[in-house]
């Protein structure tokens, strides 16, 4: 369609029957006129596939496969996508109608590889919690490695050029809860990031979120940072130690508070201070 390059939207879905219809319809209701929607059913054992098939009449393409994880699901969707741009929407998240239109406008105005929007946090009943995830723009590599607040809210917030996605190699299937972090690290080594400063997506928090599994979160995020170290993404050894210390501090808080395991929390507090002593100030600020 002239003036409106094709955007391929990929929804990976694993046992998200309760939310999937809302996600799909939020894509079909976009005010951007040139879309391809791909739903990747990742071996769901609930009614997710049945719900997705109800939309085949709307030219929604469905991939039904064995359970191989969210990263592989996104990658398989990207492999068959025909769009110049790719957008990913988790099956429990929702977009507002202007999400893609306003994102593509930033691409046309700036030299970037990825554009994201603010995300409004909602609960299981789709009610806003009052929290907005805002993110940043520009060269984000250092900020991402430092885990300096919210840089890119979530995969559901992004629009990326297909060429940029292919250049950085897609999502790493060896990660699950931290796959987006690893992907953003690699992307930020090659491309600047653009932003739409509006909450045009809704990020759902509920009991089945992957980040509620702190043991997996620990394993995944440490793995991502070790991978970044091997790839030489840190500008110096001292900067690397500071980044790892910040990671350990975040894991300490997750175990201490959310995991209700103060012993593991204390372990990561000690690790963070040993690797980068100045971080002790952050524990008393």
The average pLDDT across 168-185 equals 96
| Rounded Cα gap, residues 266 and 121, in angstroms | 30
| Res. 208: pLDDT tops 70 | no
- The pLDDT value given to residue 209: 56
Structure confidence by residue, pLDDT tens digits, 242-271: 999 999 999 999 998 877 899 999 999 999
Q: Report d(CA 218, CA 213) in Å as an integer.
A: 9
Q: What is the mean pLDDT of residues 268-282?
A: 96
Average pLDDT over residues 15-43: 97
pLDDT at 207 over 80: no
Average pLDDT over residues 137-165: 97
| Per-residue pLDDT reduced to its tens digit, 86-115 | 999 999 999 999 999 999 999 988 899 999
Q: What is the pLDDT of residues 56-78, one digit of tens each?
A: 999 999 999 999 999 999 999 99
Residue 88: partners with Cβ closer than 8 Å, 6 or more residues away: 9, 10, 11, 12, 74, 77, 155, 156, 158
pLDDT at 274: 97
**Tens of pLDDT along 210-221?**
556 899 999 999
Q: Kindly indicate the confidence band of residue 2, based on its pLDDT and cuts at 50, 70 and 90.
A: low
Share of the chain above pLDDT 70, in %: 97
Residue 212 is predicted with a pLDDT of 64
Distances (CA, A) of 173 to 9, 64, 192, 224: 19, 18, 24, 12
pLDDT at 40: 98
pLDDT band for position 1 (cuts 50, 70, 90): low
Q: Rounded to an integer, what distance in angstroms lies between the CA atom of residue 285 and that of residue 246?
A: 14
DSSP 254: I
Task: Report whether 41 contacts 69 (CB < 8 A).
Answer: no
Q: What is the average pLDDT score of the chain?
A: 95
Task: With H, G, I as helix, E, B as strand and everything else as coil, classify residue 116.
Answer: strand
Residue 138 per-residue DSSP state: B
DSSP notation for 45-109: SSSHHHHHHTTGGGT-EEEEE----HHHHHHHHHHH---SEEEE--TT-EE-TTHHHHHHHHHHH
Predicted local distance difference test score (pLDDT) of residue 3: 79
Instruction: Return the pLDDT at 108.
Output: 86
């Amino acid at each position: 369609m002239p003036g409106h390059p094709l955007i391929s939207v990929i929804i990976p879905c694993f046992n998200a029957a309760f939310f999937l219809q809302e996600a799909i319809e939020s894509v079909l209701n976009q005010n951007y006129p040139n879309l391809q929607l791909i739903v990747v059913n990742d071996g769901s054992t609930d009614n997710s596939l049945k719900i997705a098939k109800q939309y085949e009449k709307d030219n929604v393409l469905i991939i039904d496969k064995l359970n191989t994880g969210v990263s592989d699901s996104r990658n398989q969707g990207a492999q068959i996508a025909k769009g110049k741009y790719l957008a990913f929407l988790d099956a429990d998240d929702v977009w507002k109608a202007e999400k893609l239109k306003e994102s593509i406008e930033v691409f046309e105005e700036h030299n970037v590889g990825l554009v994201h929007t603010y995300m409004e946090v909602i609960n299981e009943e789709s009610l806003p919690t009052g929290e907005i995830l805002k993110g940043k723009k520009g060269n984000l590599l250092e900020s991402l490695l430092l885990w300096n607040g919210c840089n890119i809210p979530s995969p559901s917030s992004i629009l990326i050029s297909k060429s940029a996605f292919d250049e950085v190699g897609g999502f790493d299937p060896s990660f699950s809860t931290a796959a987006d972090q690893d992907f953003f690290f690699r992307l930020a080594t090659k491309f600047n990031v653009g932003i739409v400063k509006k909450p045009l997506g809704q990020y759902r928090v509920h009991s089945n979120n992957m980040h509620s599994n702190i043991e997996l979160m620990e394993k995944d995020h440490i793995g991502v940072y070790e991978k970044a170290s091997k790839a030489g993404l840190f500008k110096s050894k001292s900067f690397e130690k500071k980044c790892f210390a910040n990671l350990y501090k975040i894991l300490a808080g997750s175990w201490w508070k959310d995991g209700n395991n103060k012993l593991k929390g204390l372990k990561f507090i000690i690790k963070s201070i040993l690797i980068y002593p100045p971080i002790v100030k952050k524990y008393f600020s």
